[in-house]
Amino acid sequence: MDEFVVSARKYRPQVFASVVGQSAITTTLKNSIVRKHLAHAYLFCGPRGVGKTTCARIFAKTINCTNPTPDMEACNHCESCLSFNEGRSYSIHELDAASNSSVDDIRQLIDQVRIPPQIGQYSVYIIDEVHMLSTTAFNAFLKTLEEPPVHAVFILATTEKHKIIPTILSRCQIYDFNRIRTDDTVGYLKMIAQSENVSAEDAALHIIAQKADGAMRDALSIFDQVVSFCGNELTYAKVIENLNVLDYDYYFRLTAAFLQCSYRDALLIFDEVLSKGFEGQHFIAGLCSHFRDLLVCKDEQTVQLLEASESIKKMYRDQAVGCEARFLFEALSLATRCDMGYKASGNPRLHVELCLLQISYLCAEKKKPDADLTPTVAIPSAPTPAAPATAAGHASTPAAPATAAGHAGASPAASPPPARPFAPHQPAAELPKTVQIKDALNSIPKIPHPAAKPDKDDHSAAAAAASASEMQDFTVEQLQKACQQYAAALPAQKVRVKNAVLGAHQSIKDDRRTISLKVDNDLALRDIEQEKKTLVYFLQQHLHNAQIAVELSVEEDAPGKPVKPYGNENRYKFLAEQNPLLATLKQKLDLDYE
């Protein structure tokens, strides 16, 4: 029995021409060899499985080849090429920085760099996953990387360029590898399938390429996996079964149900998907991709953005003809929002089902008559029997289009019924007239809050009306009651103002219109001053006297009256009188009241 070698190793490129999807980089490297413009340090960066290490090996083998081809490819026949292919070359060294990340490992490498190559012209050092080196190892490597011996060439490979310190980046020629396109991956898989005598459908190879997400090594690993499952015949059905991929057919059927406003079919298709073991988020993410693919198929110039086999592309083109661009925009927005909120939802299935219902309603909304799109408020001309209460305790409202929780017997494709009047049993000849919501809201009188701060115009109007009437006298008892009402009307966050008003000594001066409020401290005085205009306006209204004025003052402490310490300074003075050592402590430590 022959030993099995995985495709990623068996079909690993050996020359620049066999590298897939990186033509710009391979051309640049070949030109640098032709012109003998070799740098002493290269940095190959990009996603996994796109050919960074492979290109580094081919480049190292080519610059040491003693008999290169005219197009600057390694001959694979000279001693240098043979020793490298057989893994016994002492001129090309590979180092895994993930397991050799310390300063000692780099010092050992620096000592090794001094030794010239035995075969070939250059000693090439390929350091893979170089971002795993520690900061001290990077710093130890700086001098050698900048000024290595003439025979030394360093090729660094990494998937995370941002983790490499700038001083290293500035000493290297940087090559950014791209993700391999789906068509390029499919073409390479076809070549391998022919070499392995495996017949494969284009749709099956496209699924493998899409699952690999631009990484050729992943695509080859998946290819080996599905060949073990399917044998020598790769079909689309067997591949999606083995890779647990959701079939395109579900999304085409689902979109057809949306276009027919059939929310029931949409819910049944989603239930069928869940019964096959697929996650709800996996389903909704695929639905987003499906709407995107339909959108790009609406224009011939963007069809090329669709990465699928020709048979699948034809299905997308056919369905895109019946989909309006506005519907696809709104449906894609709803599906994306559902995908974003899936993990935070307490009921994920209901979350997805609600999204399907909303998308189903998009087409139903377009069929609604224009007369039903204007919101109205029905005003009955005569008393009518009370409408049956709903679950929320309100009268029944105009009927909405049927949903999954509504009338299951209604036709999904039918237009939603027109809005019913307020009195459903009223004869047609006595239908109530309707008015716009805006007009109805404007007709509601505005009632100001009793403690609200008056506008300038309202205050002037109130003063003019009061001046025209008799200025009523008031007693201290009436004043105290009005102050209590004002304090009770204040919001909860103004508790200090409330306490200051209630605690103030209230009196009326001889002119019978000036009110004196004496408070205990300056803090209470400042609080009332901030609300003085509102207080004056309130007292004028409740005491029916537009000439009322308020004077605020701090009440002087009477002999023998206990001091109430308000504020930091007053509290300090009060405590210092009780304990003189506190003043000494403040002076020695130079403390503040705060």
What the chain holds in terms of domains, given with CATH numbers, is 7-176 (3.40.50.300), 182-243 (1.10.8.60), 248-370 (1.20.272.10), 456-554 (3.30.300), 557-594 (no CATH)
Burial class (CB in 10 A: 0-12, 13-18, 19+), 153: buried
CA distances from 84 to 54, 89, 94, 150, 515 (A): 13, 5, 11, 21, 105
Taking only the tens place, the pLDDT of each residue in 59-74 is 999 998 888 888 888 8
Alpha-carbon gap, residue 353 to 361, rounded angstroms: 12
Query: Per the structure block, which two tokens stand in for 175?
Result: 């090559």
The four Cα atoms 322, 324, 330, 334 give a dihedral, to 10 degrees, of 10
Is there a contact between 451 and 490 (Cβ–Cβ < 8 Å)?
yes
Cβ contacts of residue 126 below 8 Å, gap of 6+? 53, 56, 57, 60, 92, 93, 94, 95, 155, 157
Bridge partners, 199 (sequence order): 233
Query: Per the structure block, which two tokens stand in for 192?
Result: 């391998």
Give, for all 594 residues of the chain, the pLDDT tens digit: 467 888 888 888 888 888 888 889 999 999 999 888 889 999 999 988 898 999 999 999 999 888 888 888 888 888 888 888 888 888 888 888 888 888 888 888 888 888 888 888 899 999 999 999 988 899 888 888 888 888 999 999 999 999 999 999 999 999 999 999 888 899 999 999 998 888 888 888 998 998 888 889 989 999 999 998 888 888 888 888 888 888 888 999 999 999 988 889 999 999 999 998 888 999 999 999 999 999 999 888 888 888 888 888 888 988 988 888 899 999 999 999 999 999 888 899 999 999 999 998 887 766 655 434 434 334 344 444 444 444 333 434 344 443 333 333 433 444 444 444 434 444 444 444 454 555 544 554 444 444 444 554 555 544 444 444 447 788 888 888 888 888 888 887 788 888 888 888 888 887 778 888 888 777 788 888 888 888 888 888 888 888 888 888 887 654 445 555 656 676 777 777 778 887 887 777 777 766
Element (H, E) at 152: strand 152-158
